[in-house]
Amino acid sequence: MAPAAASISLAFSPLLLPTPRPRPQSRPINPGFPKPLRLTLARAPPSRRAAPVAAAVPDGVAVADVVERDWSFLDASAAGATGLARALEAGALSPASRVLAVTPAPSFVDALLSGTPCELLVAAHESLYVLAGIKEEHDEVRCFHLEGGGGGRGGGVVEAVPERFDAFDAVFVCYFPGMGVSAAALVKSLAKRCSKGARVVIFLDQGRQNLEQHRREHPEVVTSDLPNRTSLEKAIAGSKFEIVEFVDETALYLAVLQLQE
């Protein structure tokens, strides 16, 4: 009987096995996913007028370069500046002051925070590179980008700064010749954002002598002149600002406006 049982088992064994099916071929996951972005970062040598700073460009897509003007010469020239202390003093700051610095060099921010603590410091600049350096050194500073210099969509200088930072007690205009705005537009823009009695300090250490050197070496940054007293008086006509101090010398330019109550 044993041989018969074995033959039956062998005869039916193929029927008990599952029918093999072809295995599906693997497919790539999400074949439509875009290619990774390329990030490039470069800074131009001082001799070039403008250079791409950063651009993230997908493969096969043409995107205009992000171009930034080189403002580093201002920080270099501010080292050991003698007029900086006088400009800070003209701001009449206190620990409760709310301060706006327009186009500041990092060295200016260092000097302000180390010598005159204030409640709030807002830095507004067209250079993302400069703002990044300020933020890295002083995280407490609120930084905002001025697109296209100081022009702004409304022709003023502070559209990029949110209105919750209004009521500034002091405004330092650190490099007026590079902002691309008129003195009248500057005054009109700041009048809406300053508290009563606020001071606007327009200054340039080493004065017009320094400016003429900058104009020769960095014409892409220096796009306008410093306002003389007559043009400044015309700019504040009809406003509540008045000139409380004005110095226009070879070694120092300093114009201090005060918003009357």
Give the integer Cα–Cα distance in Å for 120 and 141: 7
Q: Whole-angstrom Cα distance, residue 101 to residue 201?
A: 10
- Domain extents in the chain: 22-68, 72-259
Integer Cα distance of 121 and 111 in angstroms:
12
Sheet holding 241-248, edge to edge: 142-145, 120-125, 98-102, 168-173, 194-205, 252-259, 241-248
What is the pTM assigned to this prediction?
Answer: 0.72
How many helices (DSSP H) and strands (DSSP E) are in the chain?
Answer: 8, 11
- 192 to 107, 161, 170: CA distances (angstroms): 28, 12, 13
**CATH code assigned to 72-259:** 3.40.50.150
Q: Quick check: helix, strand or coil at residue 202?
A: strand
User: What's the pLDDT band for 22 if we cut at 50, 70, 90?
Assistant: low
Question: For 235, which DSSP code?
Answer: H
| Residue 115 phi, psi (nearest 5) | -105, -25
23-59: per-residue pLDDT in tens? 555 444 444 433 333 333 333 344 333 443 343 333 3
Residue-wise pLDDT for 179-207, tens only, equals 888 999 999 989 989 999 999 999 998 78
Tokens encoding 204:
């340039």
Q: Which two tokens stand for residue 25?
A: 């071929």
Q: What is the pLDDT of residue 1?
A: 47
